[in-house]
A and B are shown apart, each in its own frame.
Chain A
């Protein structure tokens, strides 16, 4: 049965994050970033609180598939407490990982590194990068 091959995408850790996402919600008093995936309808609402250069708090809401929700949850875990530059570096590492590049630096992503399997599902790469794109936009805005 070919469905068993989906196990490399839908791992238990992905299921956990999707069912019980971390940092789910909206932060008061910070600018919110709304991004969507126009091809499929996934929507993310991301709020990031900066303490100087550091991401001191982060939360996401919206509506997405398992991959998109799990990736958002994993992203928030990965970047909270990091500086903007560190977070942007992680976003870059993640983007390369889901496009199939292999690198030791991927360990720095924490549980987000479990999404490496997405590279075998090209139609789902966009689901996994939506949250990271929202993060980049949020950092960009904070510099303006």
Chain B
């Protein structure tokens, strides 16, 4: 069991009044808050360790390098990669997916296909649109059924022409969880690479990339207690060895001559320029924090919140929840609309009740179009949210309905 009271003490930002109401932060799918331990790690780094990595002989440089590489090991352990060679630090999920799509450009040929789903985030659509446009490959979509990925549709669209399958592990709108282990097997059967966008899964459940047997897995630190600007791309070692670096410059080279250069070995050949050292170290602190709580416990607790709040939302007259209607199939990200009310108006009203939610297309315009709506409101939960937060959300929605029904 998680001790939520104790957890909340680590997040000073949560203890504040907005618009005369206590803050209820339910925009965790956009970014999570950071615990004191992560802020301390950042602060300590700049107070005691700051130096550039992999290039100095002095003590601080050695200390910074050791801390940076220790974080890589923490990531390796967190996702159970075979080796730290498979753990590349990036700016975030977007960078990771762009790097994989650049690799795809070297492989894809006219007539080949890339299979994604209609519920992808723009960061798992546009890099593939570009790769397909440049190579003449075709971007193919699997659609949804009952709010989740339609596996029959996905199976029917897999063929030997499919060279990459790239899917969100958890949809940032529908909260649907894709069976990526099963899909990786199907992808490998037709000879395709399996890419998993883990931005919405890594913060919320135990991840074992060897068990999933995916070829690539990406995550964003800021959605799991770490600062913005740090993320991870995992790739299987044998594939990363075939992959060319996307960026070139300092840090990633072995020997440089006037007309050519050779690259460092993995993982450094991908990390050109001075990396986000402080961010990587703070990500390590975030992973320590999550690991200490236990990812299985975190998952169970969030499921408990969903089991509690989803039926209450579904019971509100005129409210539509998107995605799976069964709480056990729905992750802690819940998009909804209220009949006759625009989600922006809803989000403004909720904000005046202290409840922070997002409204808009959630960087998933093709999905929003597919659902036949123009936008939606979205509440998303994390380890510091409580059942009281859920009650406040429901109560604020009811008040919002009342407010607008009076005059609107």
A→B interface (CB under 8 Å)? 1-3, 5-6, 9-10, 12, 15, 18-19, 39-43, 63-68, 121, 123-124, 127
B→A interface (CB under 8 Å)? 19-21, 342-345, 348-349, 351-354, 359-361, 365, 368, 374-375, 399-400, 403-404, 407-408
Complex partner residue of A67 from B343, B344, B349, CB under 8 angstroms: B344
A123 to B360, CA, bound (A): 12
Complex partner residue of A41 from B20, B352, B360, CB under 8 angstroms: B360
- Chain B residues with CB under 8 Å of A42's CB are 344, 374
A15 to B406, CA, bound (A): 10
Query: Do residues A9 and B375 form an inter-chain contact, with CB atoms below 8 A?
Result: no
Known: A41-B361, A65-B342, A67-B345. A5 touches B19 (CB 8 A): yes
Query: Do residues B360 and A39 form an inter-chain contact, with CB atoms below 8 A?
Result: yes
Query: Do residues A9 and B348 form an inter-chain contact, with CB atoms below 8 A?
Result: yes
Query: Do residues A5 and B342 form an inter-chain contact, with CB atoms below 8 A?
Result: no
Query: Do residues A12 and B344 form an inter-chain contact, with CB atoms below 8 A?
Result: no
Query: Do residues B342 and A64 form an inter-chain contact, with CB atoms below 8 A?
Result: yes
A123 to chain B: closest residue by CB: B348
A9 → chain B, closest Cβ, in Å?
Answer: 7
Instruction: Enumerate the 10 nearest inter-chain pairs by beta-carbon distance, A residue then B residue, closest first.
Output: A65-B342, A65-B344, A41-B375, A41-B361, A40-B360, A63-B374, A2-B352, A15-B407, A2-B20, A15-B408
A5 to B360, CA, bound (A): 23
- Chain B residues with CB under 8 Å of A15's CB are 407-408
- Chain A residues with CB under 8 Å of B353's CB are 1-3
Query: Do residues A2 and B348 form an inter-chain contact, with CB atoms below 8 A?
Result: no
- Chain A residues with CB under 8 Å of B342's CB are 64-66
- Chain B residues with CB under 8 Å of A67's CB are 344-345
From A2, A9, A121, name the one whose CB has the most chain B CB atoms within 10 angstroms. A2
- Chain A residues with CB under 8 Å of B351's CB are 123
From B344, B359, B407, name the one whose CB has the most chain A CB atoms within 10 angstroms. B344
Known: A3-B353, A15-B407, A18-B408. A65 touches B20 (CB 8 A): no
- Chain B residues with CB under 8 Å of A9's CB are 348
Known: A41-B360, A41-B374, A43-B374. A12 touches B348 (CB 8 A): no
- Chain A residues with CB under 8 Å of B400's CB are 3
From B19, B365, B374, name the one whose CB has the most chain A CB atoms within 10 angstroms. B374
B267 → chain A, closest Cβ, in Å?
Answer: 35
A98 → chain B, closest Cβ, in Å?
Answer: 15
A109 → chain B, closest Cβ, in Å?
Answer: 22
B365 to chain A: closest residue by CB: A41
Known: A40-B344, A66-B342. A3 touches B352 (CB 8 A): yes
What would 11 more interface pairs be, CB under 8 Å, given A6-B349, A41-B361?
Answer: A2-B19, A2-B352, A2-B353, A15-B407, A18-B408, A41-B368, A41-B374, A63-B374, A66-B345, A123-B351, A127-B344
